[in-house]
């Protein structure tokens, strides 16, 4: 009975989900920050750095080999005012690093802008430059009702994509498995709060009024419907 309860609780306890329902990326930056290396000479790479908020929030200038990459020339020019190594890079191009030299890669809200073919090439590039024991952190949205509000979004990618191509879980695929040397260190989902009674109506006006009152009462006592709409995935490469 105790084991059954613990299993159910691990799968359904969403009390912590409220911490990950905002559009604010800071909670996910903090997740990524837990996995930074201790070695201040390690190569740290933020791909799709934007305004440099990730590096600023975690104080990454303490790393002597910090690189911020972005495809927007204006963003890179702004970054260069605060960071020594800010470079123009457009995924899935060749990363400006030698094989097996990078200890940590952070990639937030980038892969959803890539086609499946480009993502495959990008995964190959990250695998090429990452050292054994290196970390990849990916944050990205999943498919939800507003995913395509951003016209630059090409398609969403679930965490299983990384399992299939970086953890060698399946080999009978149209594209070769890239690696079997990765493991999931941490996976945290972002949630959206949805209307508990969405789509629940009747042909009776009085019953509809009762449904609305019930919905308000349920909301007041804390009943919410959470739906996954994104995630942060931490992967580690082994030998």
CATH number of the domain encompassing residue 54: 3.40.50.150
Q: Within a domain: residue 218?
A: no
Contact call for residues 41 and 211 (beta carbons, < 8 A): no
Q: Within a domain: residue 8?
A: yes
Task: Locate 125 and state its tokens.
Answer: 């590039």
Tell me, letter by letter, the H, E, C secondary structure of 46-108.
EECCCCCHHHHHCCHHHCCEEEEEECCHHHHHHHCCCCCCEEECCCCCCCCCCCCCEEEEEEE
The C-alpha atoms of residue 210 and residue 200 are separated, in whole angstroms, by 11
What is the band of 32 on the pLDDT scale with cuts at 50, 70, 90? very high
For residue 92, is the peptide bond before it cis, meaning its omega torsion is within 30 degrees of 0?
yes
Q: Within a domain: residue 131?
A: yes
Neighbours of 56 (CB within 10 A): 13
* Residue 232 pLDDT > 60: yes
| 15 vs 146: which has the higher pLDDT | 146
Q: Within a domain: residue 217?
A: no
Q: What is the pTM of this model?
A: 0.83
Q: Per DSSP, what are the bridge partners of residue 174?
A: none
The C-alpha atoms of residue 110 and residue 118 are separated, in whole angstroms, by 11
The C-alpha atoms of residue 92 and residue 126 are separated, in whole angstroms, by 9
- Helix, strand, coil shares of the chain, percent, nearest 5, are 35, 25, 40
Q: Within a domain: residue 210?
A: no
What's the domain count of the chain? Answer: 1
The 130-141 sheet, strands edge to edge = 86-88, 65-70, 43-47, 102-108, 130-141, 225-237, 182-194
Q: Within a domain: residue 80?
A: yes
Span 175-228, pLDDT tens digits: 889 999 999 999 999 888 776 656 666 777 888 788 778 777 777 776 667 788
- The domain in which residue 90 lies consists of 2-192+229-237
Q: Within a domain: residue 6?
A: yes
Q: Within a domain: residue 213?
A: no
Looking at 84-181, which runs of residues are DSSP E strands?
Answer: 86-88, 102-108, 130-141
Say which range, 19-23, 80-84, 101-105, 137-141, has the weakest mean pLDDT.
19-23
What is the band of 9 on the pLDDT scale with cuts at 50, 70, 90? very low
Span 47-80, pLDDT tens digits: 999 999 999 999 999 999 999 999 999 999 999 9
């Amino acid at each position: 009975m105790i084991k059954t309860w613990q299993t159910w609780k691990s799968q359904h306890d969403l009390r912590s989900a409220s911490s990950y329902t905002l559009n604010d990326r800071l909670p996910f930056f903090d997740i990524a920050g837990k996995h930074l290396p201790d070695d201040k000479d390690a190569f740290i790479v933020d791909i799709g750095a934007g305004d440099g908020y990730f590096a600023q929030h975690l104080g990454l200038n303490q790393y002597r080999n910090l690189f911020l990459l972005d495809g927007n020339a204006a963003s890179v020019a702004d970054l260069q005012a605060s960071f020594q190594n800010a470079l123009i890079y457009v995924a899935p191009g060749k990363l400006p690093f030698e094989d097996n030299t990078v200890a940590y890669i952070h990639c937030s809200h980038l892969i959803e802008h890539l086609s499946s073919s480009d993502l495959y090439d990008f995964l190959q590039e990250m695998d090429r430059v990452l050292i054994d024991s290196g970390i990849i952190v990916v944050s990205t949205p999943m498919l939800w009702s507003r995913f395509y509000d951003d016209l630059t979004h090409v398609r969403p990618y679930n965490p299983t994509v990384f399992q299939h191509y970086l953890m060698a879980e399946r080999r009978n695929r149209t594209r070769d498995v890239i690696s079997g040397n990765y493991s999931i260190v941490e996976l945290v989902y972002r949630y959206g709060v949805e209307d508990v009674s969405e789509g629940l109506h009747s042909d009776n006006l009085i019953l509809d009024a009762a449904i609305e009152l019930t919905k308000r009462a349920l909301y007041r006592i804390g009943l919410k419907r959470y739906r996954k709409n994104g995630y942060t995935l931490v992967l580690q490469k082994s030998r």
